[in-house]
Structure 1
């Protein structure tokens, strides 16, 4: 066993594909997000969002100065997009609502009816084709007016988000049964307000990213309670959240490296899952950040504290858990760590890196480690009493958008096999899987250079022509047979 462990660290370690069928009710889908595909950034009354402002004022923020002004032009081509989703024969399509398209100034006193109608049309088109809408309320595109008021680190954002969420439930809830409040809150907060690598591009690590997360968790919980108290009885839907993480693989079997893995998981996934499923932040986060804060001269921890009432209010506010998982990394404790360094990564006191022997995608953070998803799912089950999980994002990037995307096919098959292993061997309650993404789109700071799509998009064409890649046929077949190999056995 130890020999196999070493081999998996030194080279790609792919098991034989699982030969058990996925359950008949297992959901297969694909996904996009509003800023990445819609375009029409200032049409029909849409307000400016933080990505619009950042990339218009600082085009060097992305590769080649790419932005979401037009991108895939899905605002005008949504019927064509739904036809592609239908062609895939998936059960569900995950997309996000653009807050500033519905509420141009971020507040409910000004509703943009054209934006509302766009999403009603999209949902109607999906329903007409027997496709379940999975709706993300917030996927990183805050209205600029709310950022001007302080953004996510300002506690006023909580009620602004809850007002927006309530309106979404009112407008679309009769046709939407799966809601996700937030996509990848770590990247909203750590990258948006800590590292500054996503909009609004603020660098205040270890301060504003923690304030952001604190408010975001309270906003999530309050929105869940609004749905539970005001809409669940009539709309009969579910509300969850989407949390992302690598699998953090101990670089050796030593107790120090095993502890480093657990610490990094708590600082990454537990940061958001622990308050929702257990109550309060993970102990290692509270202890580390307080200890380091006091050593740095602060009179209290840089990590805000929840009141006992807030802990109880947040606990239990997820009907299901969305998990975004692509990649893994090796970890070990930081030796002789700098006590004066401030930020999420420094506070964890864990060093992580990618093995040079792991196959890489175009995205610099993406390595092909399908065994990692089973390990992460098993960890989530053990930590949080086996919550209902749907893989809300998983996919592979290349540079050229090739139609002969054999690497993407291999990636999807291997990761799905590992998901099936987690269900079969570990009893993890996974009810669905979602490929990122439906089509090539704007991949944030990497612009149009990192292509994740099942469908190629010609960004040089005014029509933004979509063309099926080889992976489309393979994914269709997996969904049709509920099987990863030619000869499956019933589960």
Structure 2
């Protein structure tokens, strides 16, 4: 057998060291560096590089004839002050043991055993008692040296009991179908796809200004052209037909319709674009689902205070009135405002999105959020009182939220932190609309922290009784955007006046969750079902339409986006479980996004699209990724048919005759624009003519030299 102790992995490179006394390090001719992307530990030169264990085990297999391997030490150090809440050690064991399992199960390495270092904190050689590797904390100040199990001891016990990592019951596939009238959709937003930033009288938006400000957007990308959807209605509808969606969620650019944000001047060409889009969708039997506001406020309104200025409530109502009056007879599904949390906190707290304000993070986000709720309510009442009876549509707001789990499920402080994260996220806007007023948690925490800082009143604005009544119930469904789950733990920010300090929590991700192209987005489908159940229990089981859900990639282009197919399968299956097993009233699902587009402050570096947009081609053709077939099959089956019940027709749908990927089939050839087939014919003909010309030139040269030689010969005979 082969016994191996392993703790970390280094990055090595060849190096010829200076002449020095001969030593082991000198003989190796190399230098080592830390693996910079891996988590640090309490020992500066021992990072937690889990993938290195699998590679080492495979190397031993190949180098030493596939022996039986016993891992006789593996562990991570933490500071001695860490008593029992050693979450970092849990992550270490979870990732390292998983890599050992991969080596055994996938690579055929004969891994026969695994040993944790260490049973308990002990004398750690040159580090003395400053560090600890133990599953159990030892109180060295107590003469009896009591041993207390840490969080990692409970975790390791579960691994031993399960002999690995069996698939949890809530992650196993459920086969079944959604309701017959289930909405299947995909989504975009105006600034992200339309382009035409100054076309046909459009006014500037806050995102036009933000993206044209240096260093605000990655690579200084902007939406001046974006996906050019303003000029590609037919192409966009064609790929929607290919997806087989029943609905398409898109937003209207407020400044395209009302250049200065007010109804003093209506830009008819801008409105006509949306008429053409809606008409094309309806002709394709696709229902439009319109968002009135998806973050691109007219810059003219921002210049007078934007969402901080209370007058915007009525300007938004007037804008909504115009859109309802012009498009409402053709549109049955409406969203007032998309993700008010991001508008209020990311745009006016962190400053990471337009308008990019960050100097009042303890007050401005709450003021903006207050006005967003009032504006939503006014638009909802306007539709309800003036348009609903005739147009017969439904209208609501879309709220986004992560799900939050405690970092340490055995620690009450982490459990409380997870609850605060959810209430300060989804509850900030859902509670006033679905239950009435802000939650008691938010009101109490922000008021107490405001008074403790010497302020005369809470930084969270108060609603009057009349306002509470007017906002409560302004929904026809719960529009919900969800992407990922986080792990929460308490953080004391002192007297800092900030949303994060009010929330009093930090968040991280489990290291074993799959990555995406976005640092904040980890694949954690179980959280989707849990937050849908939270909505059911917290807000009275309202009808839910999932208005965004998806995953990104970055880096080189790969149309075989298996990670996206995996994501959709797992997340949509969790939605099915919530619907069939938990009786959550789910009415629809929307995939984000239809195509790769400008992903806000990350520019074009992160791509969420089902369709790839070839930005190296001026025509910006849309090309289907493999996830298109997977998502369209789920739509066609209205869920997940049980493979045990035999073949299913929905798994082999007939191809959509008009929905092939949009590609440019023309090329420039000798200054002429030709189809590829004509260009190929022309190229072959040109090549053939060239061969004939070369052959003729060779023959002519041969005849010329032969005639010249004969002429010289005749001349000599004459002499």
TM-score of Structure 1 vs Structure 2, range by shorter chain: over 0.9
SS in 1 for 2:215: helix
Q: CA deviation at 1:259?
A: 2.0
**Structure 1 residue 374 and structure 2 residue 561: aligned?**
no
Q: How far 1:486 moved relative to its partner?
A: 5.4
- Alignment partner of 1:187 is 2:345: no
Q: Distance in 2 between matches of 1:472 and 1:299?
A: 56
Query: Which residue in 1 is equivalent to 2:415?
Result: 258
**Is the CA contact 2:218–2:601 (under 8 Å) kept in the aligned structure 1?**
yes
Matched, 1:289 2:446: yes
SS at match of 1:249: strand
Contact 1:29 1:90 in 2 (8 A): yes
> Among 463, 474, 479, which residue is 2:619 paired with?
463
The aligned residue for residue 247 of structure 1 is 403
Paired residues of 1:17 and 1:485 also in contact (CA < 8 A)? no
Would the aligned equivalents of 1:381 and 1:387 in 2 still touch at CA under 8 Å? yes
Relative to structure 1, the CA distance from residue 251 to residue 106 in structure 2 (aligned partners, 3 Å threshold; closer, same or farther) is same
**What secondary structure does 1:467 align onto?**
strand
Which of 144, 155, 164 is matched with 2:299 structurally?
144
1:299 aligns with 2:432: no
Alpha-carbon distance, 1:255 to partner = 2.8
Q: Cα distance, 1:401 vs. partner?
A: 4.1
Shift of residue 414, structure 1, vs aligned partner = 0.1
Shift of 1:483: 3.0
**Mapped partners of 1:6, 1:112: distance in 2:** 64
Match of 2:431 in 1: 274
Name the structure 2 match of 1:31.
Answer: 187
**Which has the larger Rg?**
2
Check whether the contact 2:188–2:250 (CA below 8 A) recurs between aligned residues. Answer: yes
1:91 aligns with 2:255: no
**Deviation for aligned residue 1:15:** 1.9
CA distance in 2, matches of 1:414, 1:184: 24
- TM-aligned CA deviation for residue 436 of structure 1: 0.3
1:134-164: per-residue Cα shift (whole Å, max 9, x none)? 1000000000000001010110110010100
Distance 2:241 2:347 in 1: 34
Match of 2:538 among 378, 383, 386: 383
Shift of 1:257: 2.2
Q: Structure 2 CA distance, aligned partners of 1:488 and 1:441?
A: 39
Q: Secondary structure at the match of 1:391?
A: strand
Contact 1:184 1:243 in 2 (8 A): yes
Say whether the 8 Å CA contact 1:442–1:448 is kept in structure 2. yes
Offset of residue 261 of structure 1: 1.7
| Cα drift, residue 16 of structure 1 | 2.3
- Counterpart mapping for 1:185-264 below 5 A: 185-203=340-358, 204-253=360-409, 254-264=411-421
Of residues 52, 69, 77, the one that matches 2:224 is 69
**Structure 2 CA distance for aligned equivalents of residues 485 and 198 of structure 1:** 42
Partner of 2:497: 342
Tell me: CA distance 1:11–1:341, structure 2 relative to 1, closer, same or farther (3 Å): farther
Q: Which residue of 2 aligns with 1:135?
A: 290
Aligned to 1:51: 207
Q: Distance in 1 between matches of 2:172 and 2:184?
A: 21
Q: Structure 1's 402 and 293: CA in aligned 2 closer, same or farther, altered over 3 A?
A: same
Q: Which has the higher contact order (CA 8 A, sep 6+)?
A: 1
CA contact (8 A) 2:177 2:641 kept: no
TM-fit CA distance, 1:472: 0.7
Structure 1 gap ranges (5+):
none
| Residue 428 (str. 1) matches residue 564 (str. 2) | no
CA distance in 2, matches of 1:387, 1:160: 29
Q: For the residues of structure 2 that align with 1:82 and 1:264, how far apart are their CA atoms? A: 39
| Contact 2:176–2:642 (8 Å) recurs in 1 | no
d(CA) in 2 for partners of 1:229, 1:129: 31
* SS of corresponding position for 1:60: coil
Distance in 1, Cα, partners of 2:299 & 2:597: 22
Q: Distance in 1 between matches of 2:173 and 2:274?
A: 39
The count of corresponding residues between Structure 1 and Structure 2 is 485
In the alignment, is the contact (CA less than 8 A) between 2:610 and 2:627 conserved in 1?
A: yes
CA RMSD of aligned residues (A): 1.9
* Segments of 4+ moved more than 4 angstroms: 2-8, 10-14
Aligned to 1:182, the other structure's residue is in SS state strand
Structure 2 residue ranges without an equivalent (≥5): 1-153, 649-719
**Contact 2:291/2:336 (<8 A) preserved:** yes
Change (3 A) 1:44 1:5: farther
| Residues in 2 aligned to 1:339 and 1:24: alpha-carbon distance in whole angstroms | 53
Counterpart contact for 1:12–1:357, Cα < 8 Å = no
Q: Does 1:484 align with 2:636?
A: no
The 1:184/1:55 distance shift into structure 2, 3 A limit, reads same
